[in-house]
A and B are shown apart, each in its own frame.
Chain A
Amino acid sequence: MIPELGNFALILALLVAVAQGTLPLAGAALGEPRLMALARPAARAQFLLVAGAFACLAASFVSNDFSVVNVATNSNSELPLHYRFAATWGSHEGSLLLWSLMLAGWTLAVSIFSRHLPPPLLARVISVMGLVSVGFLAFLLFTSNPFERLVPAAPEGRDLNPLLQDPGMVIHPPMLYMGYVGFSVAFAFAIAALLGGRLDATWARWSRPWTTVAWAFLTIGIALGSGWAYYTLGWGGWWFWDPVENASFMPWLTGTALIHSLAVTEKRGAFKSWTVLLAIVAFSLSLVGTFLVRSGVLTSVHAFATDPARGVFILVFLAIVIGGSLALFAYRAAKVGFGGGFSMVSRESMLLANNVLLVVAMASVLLGTLYPLFLDALNLGKISVGPPYFDAVFYPLMAPALFLMGVGPVARWTRAPLPELWVRLRWALGVAVAAALVAPFVLGRWSPLISLGLLLAFWIFASTAETLRARLAGSPRRAWIARLRSNSASYYGMLLAHFGLGVFVVGVTLVKGYEIERDVRLEPGQTVNVGDYEFRFVGVVPGPGPNYRALIGTVEVRKDAKLLETLHPEKRMYNASGQTMTIAAIDIGLRGDRYVSLGEPVGAGGADNAAGAWAVRIYLKPFIDWIWGGAFLMALGGFLAVSDRRYRLAIRRRTAAGWTDARGGAPAD
């Protein structure tokens, strides 16, 4: 009964989405306030219906209803309650339903927080989001119904993939989707502006907080995924340039370009058509990413062809959304214009250069991700494009971007005289150079890449400090607290995010430069020295688990004969699927992690002799937590920026700004 209710709610949601996607849009075109006024109630109704469907699916998972195919294939009665709930979005169907729920949630948020927008703009924004929702709900209902029944019901479920039975995996997909789907708001604003033919600084101010929030969520989502890979895949890497990761990284790169481009559009009225294009591209890449990961095309191009309904639907949907919006862009961009004039050396030019670098980097990732798929699809051979390609392309593109990031906030708008930049930044450059030369010797070994990485990181720290100093300088000494307060929250958000990127660069540089990875064979009682640490392998004993059997190892970590930490890496055999999982044990520290994971028994007696010798990975990962710490600081910066008062004021002052559409100025609510 519950699954049928969910199915029914989804069907109703699709009908509401069709109405939401067409009527307010028609109302905005005809200047008909009553049609435009449908936007907000439709958004609310759609959210309730999709949330209802989602709750029904979650209830089926929690209550072990194995008469639902989706539950039977992705859950198991032994699975702990919180993982049964998380299994709701563990499958293709469930994750698409989560996507739809997020979309309905963002639409609801727009309808609540942007109700003071000019009615035609609000109607168009909510309509565009409704149209995207039509695509997703139709895809769910016609090709990937999460409520499909299994007759006869299975006595037991096949279990959730053990890799997903992890707290990180419970929150990673919702965070990532908050980001992906959040870009739909920026997209909808862009399309609405193209349709309305009006795009200016006020528009950018409305669109900006939504984009920044989406970007911040995406940042957290990617960081969580990276952290999850680090501790569950058992081999201590934090980024593999895997297509699944690239799928989330491409929208992030474009989104980063977009939030900077929006800043210029808001402050200077420039980059207008570029901003709109980025908004379209960011959301298009979110769609491509969702489908790359979820359609199975990465597993095998040919699996895509074995289920033609899904494949064709996806391609048609992508063609309509991306092709349609780009066509609209081509048709209207000239009317929108680029806007604003500026000199070769100015804050605008640096932001533009950074934008171009980010987009080129995104394109190189796209090429490396899709090229093997194309070759394979056309039967031209199998190739793989691995980390060496991405490293070779990505670092040279990002180094100048990081350098410009230090100059940009210091440079003036319109025209920044070079001598002034030099005077203001020379000490920052000095600090960076000094740190790059000295720090490697303090930490150990010198290498050009370590120096370059630290140079860029300290350049960002020092120039960020200089930006702040300049803002506070020139005021009487006692007034500096008042001065500190007079700066906007979005300004501090920017500083914090830039600082976070510096922290991230430190982490990446030092991990790449100084990590030590040792795979060793250890008898119980044997010790091995790695770096400054001594690791003693005590042995492996069996242990219990809720839905698995575990083999738990014990490894003591000592430094200078002093016991620092006792680590317990695990090997888990899941009952339902028979799958094995390696759980690493990590001694976390600000200056670096000590990482131990179990391979397999390699002693006499072979693989069944758990009490004998084991293959063990022992890794030292200096400063690795700075990578995720930096990412969280960036996201925090994003949230801080959005808390800025002017976004709230901007909404109230809309009539003062005179932002009324030629057709349909009448307020709808």
Chain B
Amino acid sequence: MKPRTRRIGWIVAGLALLGVATALVLNAFRSNLVFFFTPTQVAAHEAPQGRAFRIGGLVEAGSLTREPNSLTVHFRVTDTAQTIAVSYTGLLPDLFKEGKGVVAQGTLAGDGTFHATEVLAKHDENYMPPAAADAVKQAHEAMSTRTLATTRGAHP
């Protein structure tokens, strides 16, 4: 093989490999991105039906209930403006607490309940998942008349 043909061969092989890799990456990206919505956005029907997404906010105080003889729990996630009912079957993370920040991934059912497949609460006691903190912040900016202290107690 002449050096010239060989070089062309290398370039073609390299481009083919890059093309395949790019196709893989773009395809994987398109189908596996998980978008984040706040309870307010979900209430406004901005979230997709039937596709997994994440919600974030605070676990509403007093909203956690447990079904007897199973591992299914129900709780509500609030950004202080709107709340969403969430159901989840499985073990909750150590840092999951009422009044604390939470992020859940799952799908929205027809009745407006969010069926979580995964519940995330992060590693640190003082730390709120950024997505959860943002949801609360956005809701506050939207209705600046209420304060966090009163809204936390506003939903018994």
Contacts from A to B (Cβ < 8 Å): 161, 163, 234-235, 299-303, 341, 343-344, 353, 356-357, 360, 364, 367-368, 371, 381-386, 388-389, 392-393, 396-397, 519-521, 577-582, 599-600, 602, 615, 617
Contact = CB atoms under 8 A, between A and B. Distances in A.
A161 B25 contact: no
B148 interface: no
Contact of B70 (A368, A389, A521): A521
Contacts of B95: 579-580
What interface size band does chain B fall in? Answer: 35 or more
A596 to B, nearest CB: 12
A339 B91 CA distance: 58
B17 A356 contact: yes
A483 to B, nearest CB: 36
Interface centre among A388, A389, A577, A617 (most CB of B within 10 A): A389
The winner among B92, B125, B127 for most chain A CB atoms within 10 A is B125
Interface string B75-108: 0000000000000011110110000000000000
B94 A386 contact: no
B130 interface: yes
B17 to A, nearest CB: 6
B32 A579 contact: no
B69 A521 contact: yes
Contact of A383 (B33, B94, B123): B33
B66 interface: yes
Interface in B17-38: 17-18, 21, 24-25, 27-29, 31-36
Closest 10 CB pairs of A and B: A599-B91, A382-B36, A392-B28, A389-B32, A300-B130, A388-B32, A580-B94, A360-B21, A384-B34, A393-B28
B94 A581 contact: yes
B29 to A, nearest CB: 6
Given A343-B6, A344-B9, A521-B71, A389 B94 contact: no
A303 B128 CA distance: 12
A615 B25 contact: no
Contact of B124 (A161, A368, A392): A161
12 contacts: A161-B123, A299-B130, A353-B17, A356-B17, A364-B21, A364-B25, A384-B33, A385-B32, A388-B31, A396-B24, A397-B24, A519-B89
B95 to A, nearest CB: 7
Contacts, number: 103
Contacts of B6: 343-344
Contacts of A393: 21, 24-25, 28
A519 B17 contact: no
Nearest to A300: B130
Nearest to B20: A396
A615 B71 contact: yes
Contacts of A364: 21, 24-25
Contacts of A582: 94
B44 interface: no
Given A382-B35, A580-B94, A581-B94, A519 B71 contact: yes
Contacts of B21: 360, 364, 393, 397
B130 to A, nearest CB: 4
B130 A360 contact: no
B36 A367 contact: no
A130 B24 CA distance: 41
Nearest to B73: A602
Nearest to B69: A521
B34 to A, nearest CB: 5
Contacts of B90: 519
B131 interface: yes
B35 A383 contact: yes
B1 interface: yes
Name which of B3, B29, B54 has the most chain A CB atoms within 10 A of its CB: B29
Nearest to B9: A344
Given A356-B14, A360-B17, A392 B24 contact: yes
Given A367-B29, A386-B32, A393-B21, 11 more contacts: A234-B94, A299-B127, A303-B130, A343-B6, A344-B13, A356-B14, A364-B21, A383-B36, A599-B92, A600-B92, A602-B66
Given A393-B24, A580-B95, A382 B131 contact: yes
A538 to B, nearest CB: 19
